[in-house]
Amino acid sequence: MISVSINGFGTIGKRVADAVSVQPDMSVVGVSKRSPNHEARSAGANGYELYAAEPDRIGDFEERNIPVAGPVGDMLARTDIVVDTTPSGVGETYRDRCADHDVTVVYQGGEDASVAPQSFCARANYQRSVGEAATRVVSCNTTGLARAVTPLEEAYGVASVDATLVRRGGDPTQTDRGPINDTVPDPVEVPSHHTPDLRTILPDIDVTTTGVTVPATLMHLHSVTVSPTAT
């Protein structure tokens, strides 16, 4: 049985924990949280042991009557694989601690590509991560592009890709972003950051991407033009 921990228990972490819990060859050791909020309380309600991301904040959880199994180091000590779902830039701060516990790490796409030996998309380059101590799952947008382009590359060859990403302004709960009533280039550079990110998965593809943020909370939309090498 593979012991899996989830570092972070927010929008992504909750879904990862539920997915791992139904795998026949995996078990959830626990989940970690930095703040004693409603998501931390829901971890216990869903049967997951909760660990404090910072040892000196265990008291904050106890004051709110949220049971904590211990600091995150105790969780890592019982873990074979940790899936990191913390905010961008936070996962890298745990890299040395994971190495000290000889834990395999799956980082989320908000981390810089240098955080792991390679980036990962199951449809495009699954074998590249086999046997590695760490990998980085690329962002949702890059994953979508890789899934769309890979079968076309396999069937026809791809000479070039031009993609425009129409991006939702925020999730319904992201009130800190304020009223969303603009249509703006995001980012303003061409190509957008999705181009180098996609090349970590498909390094031989000639790709250019641009991004536009719109006043919506529903989803992202990709408009992709692919030029095949075969007809």
pLDDT confidence band for 30 (50 / 70 / 90): very high
pLDDT confidence band for 120 (50 / 70 / 90): very high
CATH of the domain at 220: 3.30.360.10
> Could you tell me the CA-to-CA distances from 27 to 93, 122, 207 in Å, in that order?
25, 21, 39
Considering the domain boundaries, does residue 116 fall inside one? no
Contact 85/108 with Cβ under 8 angstroms?
yes
Number of domains in the chain: 2
Q: What is the pLDDT of residues 79-114, one digit of tens each?
A: 999 999 999 999 999 999 999 999 999 999 999 999
Task: Please indicate, yes or no, whether residues 16 and 94 belong to a single structural domain of this protein.
Answer: yes
Task: Please indicate, yes or no, whether residues 97 and 22 belong to a single structural domain of this protein.
Answer: yes
Fill in the DSSP letter of residue 136.
E
Positions marked catalytic: 140
What are 224's two structure tokens?
A: 């992709």
191: preceding bond cis by omega (within 30 degrees): yes
Q: What is the pLDDT of residues 134-182, one digit of tens each?
A: 999 999 999 999 999 999 999 999 999 999 999 888 776 676 666 667 7
- List the domain range (segments joined by +) for residue 83: 2-108
State how far Cα 157 lies from the chain centre: 29
Between CA 208 and CA 215, with CA 213 as vertex, the angle to 5 degrees is 155
For residue 175, the model assigns a pLDDT of 66
Of 109, 107, 171, 104, the C-alpha closest to 132 is 104
Residue 57's Cβ-side half-sphere holds a number of Cα atoms within 13 Å equal to 14
Task: Please indicate, yes or no, whether residues 170 and 95 belong to a single structural domain of this protein.
Answer: no
- Which ranges constitute the DSSP H helices of 71-223? 72-77, 95-100, 122-125, 140-156, 194-199
Task: Please indicate, yes or no, whether residues 26 and 99 belong to a single structural domain of this protein.
Answer: yes
Of 185, 212, 211, 207, the C-alpha closest to 196 is 207
CA distance 131 to 187: 35
Of 108, 124, 158, which residue sits at a domain end? Answer: 108
For residue 50, the model assigns a pLDDT of 97
Of 92, 108, 124, which residue sits at a domain end? Answer: 108
Contact 218/168 with Cβ under 8 angstroms?
yes
Task: Please indicate, yes or no, whether residues 150 and 83 belong to a single structural domain of this protein.
Answer: no
pLDDT confidence band for 118 (50 / 70 / 90): very high
For residue 169, the model assigns a pLDDT of 84
pTM, entire model: 0.87
For residue 152, the model assigns a pLDDT of 95
What are 79's two structure tokens?
A: 């873990």
Q: What is the pLDDT of residues 15-24, one digit of tens each?
A: 999 999 999 9
CA distance 98 to 96: 5
Per DSSP bridges, beta strands 207-214 and 81-84 are unpaired
The set of residues, in sequence order, having a beta carbon less than 8 Å from that of 93 and lying 6+ positions away, is none
Q: What is the pLDDT of residues 173-222, one digit of tens each?
A: 676 666 667 788 888 899 999 999 999 999 999 999 999 988 888 889 99
For residue 13, the model assigns a pLDDT of 95
For residue 178, the model assigns a pLDDT of 61
